[in-house]
Amino acid sequence: MKLILLRHGESQWNLENRFTGWKDVSLTNLGIKEAIFSGQQLIKADIKIKSVHTSILNRATETTEIVTDIINFPKKEIHYDWRLNERHYGALQGLNKSETALKYGEDQVLIWRRSYNIPPPLLSEDDERHPKLNEKFKDIDSNLPIGESLKNVIDRLKPFWKEYKDNIIKNGGNHLIVAHSNSLRAIVKVLDQLSNDEIISVNIPTGVPLIYTLDQDLNVISKEYLLNEKELKAKQEIVMNQGKSK
């Protein structure tokens, strides 16, 4: 079977180089084009999709709608799961990454962004950015995050992943997950059996399908991005350099 991991297309806050987290922002024109490209690549590769899962954040759901239109996947069969949401960036949410690096130092910001188990500064209970104040998250039957490390994201993904992997093993076929940089990195860590240190250097570009070919026990047979090597390297360098002071 094939498992396709797709990071949403470029969002407005990606363009503005801001920590987005659980903030709902929409795709840019480039992000829309990236989503269209992703759908077309799946068609070109003749990959028939049996299930689609995505987060509940706009940039992921907008990408999902564009892709599913292109591959002719029924909208009513899309599964939405908050556990696939991006990492919550706590008190950094909304801040420009470069300005934050200038204020706190690139080393500190790199620790917040890329360490495995060190979360960013947490939101206070009365912060207007607190997810409890967002109507979209009112039905989440769990403690709402106010700042997460990658380890926290992996922990909240565990219930989803257990049910998900059991389902795809049982039903076979090819499956698509449209999510975010850190929620997808959490899945990559599991699939590739990466250490806590190894996952830190993994960068996932926007709008490029990552195809895992798996055996019946979900062991990885092969993996590839549906993009030529030169263009992929350029996109990964953009992701890697985001947040550095200019």
Cβ atoms of 119 and 147 within 8 Å: the answer is yes
Classified as helix, coil or strand, 199 is helix
Among 91, 156, 87, 89, smallest CA distance to 123 is for 91
163 is catalytic: no
Active-site hit among 8, 53, 175, 180: 8
What is the rounded CA–CA span in Å between residue 209 and residue 187? 14
Active-site hit among 10, 34, 62, 86: 86
What is the rounded CA–CA span in Å between residue 159 and residue 10? 28
Q: State the Cα angle at 14 between 178 and 101, rounded to 5°.
A: 125
Q: What is the DSSP letter of 142?
A: S
Query: Which strands, in side-by-side order, build the sheet including 210-214?
Result: 78-80, 49-54, 174-179, 2-7, 210-214, 220-225
86 is catalytic: yes
Cβ atoms of 131 and 82 within 8 Å: the answer is no
Range 5-20 burial, b when 16+ CB lie within 10 A, else e? bbbbbbbebbeebbbb
Residues annotated catalytic, as ranges:
8, 86
